[in-house]
Structure 1
């Protein structure tokens, strides 16, 4: 078995990837800013990063931040080249090349860095995780009225299924840009928000607000969706039922696909 470094290995996705790789018998190093023995801020790099990648065969790059991703990737790639890493696997987002959203632009730039790194590489793009959608809705529902960008669809995917796919890719040979991975259903953001409110027992008026700008147009037109790659099986309703309990969320999911 191989030695694999998982960046962001304590995060929502990285933790699951780490568990699966270890269960498969790989030696796994977890890199995060605060977890020893590989506590590294990728944006700073340095000797600690060099030590973390020394002797590593494969890196699964799950770490991400609203700021500094490109510098973090540059530092990681430099260290990986110096250590003779065989394979760099990067998790990206569907639509980074179609929706001019600032964070997406940064993810696309990192993709380009990975492709031009001189390392063997694999890039997987997925739609947004159920967990991240809930974080968004938690924030929006703090007010008495839940305001949503009008006309925006979404296609959330189960993070555990993404972890399964990344584990498979990390154990294999470099594959370049692999097929996108989307959740099983495309729904309006309003329907997802109403399902969340019902599952959590919150009462909020839902108001759809037309916005402006190229990024909004990109989301509204579905640039972040992968309807032809709806390979995920876990629905948002099933996720809500598992997280909050009850059958209503499952029923809502069933109706959305009817």
Structure 2
């Protein structure tokens, strides 16, 4: 990484990913401002913008855009941020997106793809990184599915979860570098069926549940079964789902596993 100190704004800087990006950039000696809806002094709803956003961007060299909302509004937020960044003379805008946003017709994915296009047309230099789903998200899904005596999981569907800390490290590398456009995707170390992931979760938590694969209807489910959200050729992560679960339980992490199942 470059030794040059820069002023960097991290949107969504209190979230799962943004917090780690912020911590790492500060450890490297950069001046980092955190923007989120509820954190002072830069409490901003990016869908609305306003004077506080302009103040947050004043003197900023690079923006790492981690803020997102499952309820919609990512495109509007991206446009508001891009317009403000252009006014402030920001040199570099880094955006984190998701593998498959151009292949899986999920409304949230379509919004992320729209935000990508806004960033690409922004004017400042830009970098976009797409990654697979974080371990944390897969865990939340499995926790919800395990609330019933039988875990119903999507049949014929795999995932390629990645450790959020590894994504944060890659984003920091990109943030302190030159604008690079759309960089290669970044995926977790293993492609795993949901049935396999569910059983790994049950083993790690000591729960007893029957796991029942269920075929989900619809075009979106079909695209997930076809692997539209996977990038097996870009398996850059090192931390397996079992490593992640062990770390959450306070156990030492083992080396990343090499098993791969489709």
Q: 2:153 aligns with which of 145, 148, 170?
A: 148
1:104 aligned residue (75, 91, 109): 109
How far does residue 125 in structure 1 lie from its aligned partner after superposition? 0.3
**Which structure 2 residue ranges, 5 or more long, are not aligned?**
none
Structure in which a larger fraction of residues adopt helix: 1
Residue 190 of structure 2: which of 179, 185, 190 is its match?
A: 185
Alpha-carbon offset, residue 257 of structure 1: 4.7
Question: What stretches of structure 1 move > 6 A for 4+ residues in a row?
Answer: none
Partner in structure 2 of residue 13 of structure 1 = 17
**Partner SS, residue 146 of structure 1:** strand
Q: What is the CA distance between 1:256 and its match in structure 2?
A: 3.4
Distance 1:250 1:188 in 2: 21
Contact 1:199/1:245, CA 8 A, preserved across alignment: no
CA distance in 2, matches of 1:136, 1:50: 37
CA distance in 1, matches of 2:181, 2:24: 22
Match of 2:179, SS?
coil
Q: Does the Cα contact within 8 Å between 2:191 and 2:260 map onto a contact in 1?
A: no
Is the contact between residue 12 and residue 35 of structure 2 (CA under 8 Å) also seen in structure 1? yes
Q: In the alignment, what sits opposite 1:45?
A: 49
- Alpha-carbon deviations, 1:94-138, whole Å to 9, x = none? 011111111111110000000011110000000011111111111
Distance (Å, rounded) in 1 between the aligned partners of 2:79 and 2:207: 44
Instruction: Report the 3-state secondary structure (helix = DSSP H, G, I; strand = E; otherwise coil) of the residue aligned with 1:60.
Output: strand
* Counterpart Cα distance in 1 of 2:140 and 2:54: 34
Q: Which moved more, 1:132-141 or 1:9-18?
A: 132-141
When the two chains are superposed, the root-mean-square deviation of aligned CA atoms in Å is 1.7
SS in 1 for 2:52: helix
CA distance in 2, matches of 1:167, 1:122: 12
Deviations 1:10-49 (A, max 9, x none): 1111010001100111100000111111111111111111
Corresponding position of 2:214: 209
Structure 1 Cα separation of the partners of residues 107 and 178 of structure 2: 31
Corresponding residue number in structure 2 for 1:173: 178
Using structure 2 for the length normalisation, give the TM-score: 0.94
Count of aligned residue pairs for this structure pair: 256
Instruction: Give the one of 60, 64, 75 matched to 2:64.
Output: 60
Q: Which residue of 2 aligns with 1:114?
A: 119
1:256 is matched with: 259
Give the CA deviation at 1:254.
Answer: 4.4
- Would you say 1:2 and 2:6 are equivalent positions? yes
Could you tell me how far apart the structure 2 residues matched to 1:183 and 1:15 are? 20
The 1-side partners of 2:177 and 2:251 are apart by 39
Q: Matched residues in 1 for 2:43 and 2:152: separation? A: 39
